[in-house]
Amino acid sequence: MATLTVPTTVPSVSEDCEQLRKAFSGWGTNEGLIIDILGHRNAEQRNLIRKTYAETYGEDLLKALDKELSNDFERLVLLWALDPAERDALLANEATKRWTSRNQVLMEIACTRSANQLLHARQAYHARYKKSLEEDVAHHTTGDFRKLLLPLVSSYRYEGEEVNMTLAKTEAKLLHEKISNKAYSDDDVIRVLATRSKAQINATLNHYKNEYGNDINKDLKADPKDEFLALLRSTVKCLVYPEKYFEKVLRLAINRRGTDEGALTRVVCTRAEVDLKIIADEYQRRNSVPLTRAIVKDTHGDYEKLLLVLAGHVEN
């Protein structure tokens, strides 16, 4: 469930553009007006605002926002204003450029988007960077990480609910054999995780647990310091329980000494129109604190205000 709230009656797109133009005019910027408009418009409406703003004023709205805003608030507004596919392309490009074995953003995008959303992100990558996401992932990653990430970002999974139980049983046995032999980067392990539908993977992992007594992620914790195993565990979580993966990202972003604004911004931005309500419920269940209260405690100013709006917080 999404947390984004859009008014029942939305002003015309030309009126929204006019108000945004006013927010940039005169002394200082009216950040509240920017939040009120962009924070309550869905992706289609935001795209139309960008298009109309450019046609009306001869300036890209993103460039106008970039000139007027700063710091974490600027990053949040600019990411939010992007079309979801463009946003994923930008996040993926940043992840390839700054890639380390701890960076899980490429896997996150590949495994939590639908087949079409991932395809559109790859197309947006072509348009924006004049090269493919696959070639950048191949260039910037190495070893087992490349072996897993390249097929993940290239995937176009079947999205139906049909499940082959015979196959689930066979592949559960296969995964158990490979993991028992510590062949974590075996071609078959990667093939199953990178190509099977999410419904099929779910059936396979259920059979794995029923047959062998452990959740697969427990068996993938043989070496807690192994970062490839950490990536494999996160891959499984994103494919089967994305809300648990995102809850952990938020918990680590908010609860550590000093907030990881990059992770907090990314999760709120990319999930507000998808399933942030489910993630927030999981966060409260796991931490006994509402996500919005945790955001208030750890952030401030206009950055905090927009985060709360996107997280569906309603002022009393």
Annotated binding site for Ca(2+): 24, 26, 28, 68, 254, 256, 258, 296, 298-299, 304
- Sequential DSSP letters for the chain: -------SSPPPHHHHHHHHHHHHSSSS--HHHHHHHHTT--HHHHHHHHHHHHHHHSS-HHHHHHHH--HHHHHHHHHHHS-HHHHHHHHHHHHHHT--TT--HHHHHHHHS-HHHHHHHHHHHHHHHSS-HHHHHHHH--HHHHHHHHHHHH----------HHHHHHHHHHHHHHHHTT-TT-HHHHHHHHHS-HHHHHHHHHHHHHHHSS-HHHHTTSSTT-HHHHHHHHHHHHHH-HHHHHHHHHHHHHHSSS--HHHHHHHHHHHTTTTHHHHHHHHHHHHSS-HHHHHHHH--HHHHHHHHHHTT----
Binding-site residue ranges: 24, 26, 28, 68, 254, 256, 258, 296, 298-299, 304
**Alpha-carbon separation of residue 19 from 37, 49, 131, 313 (angstroms):** 8, 11, 37, 23
Residues 238/245, Cβ–Cβ less than 8 Å: yes
How many angstroms separate the CA atoms of 64 and 84, rounded? Answer: 20
Instruction: Return phi, psi of residue 280, to 5°.
Output: -65, -40
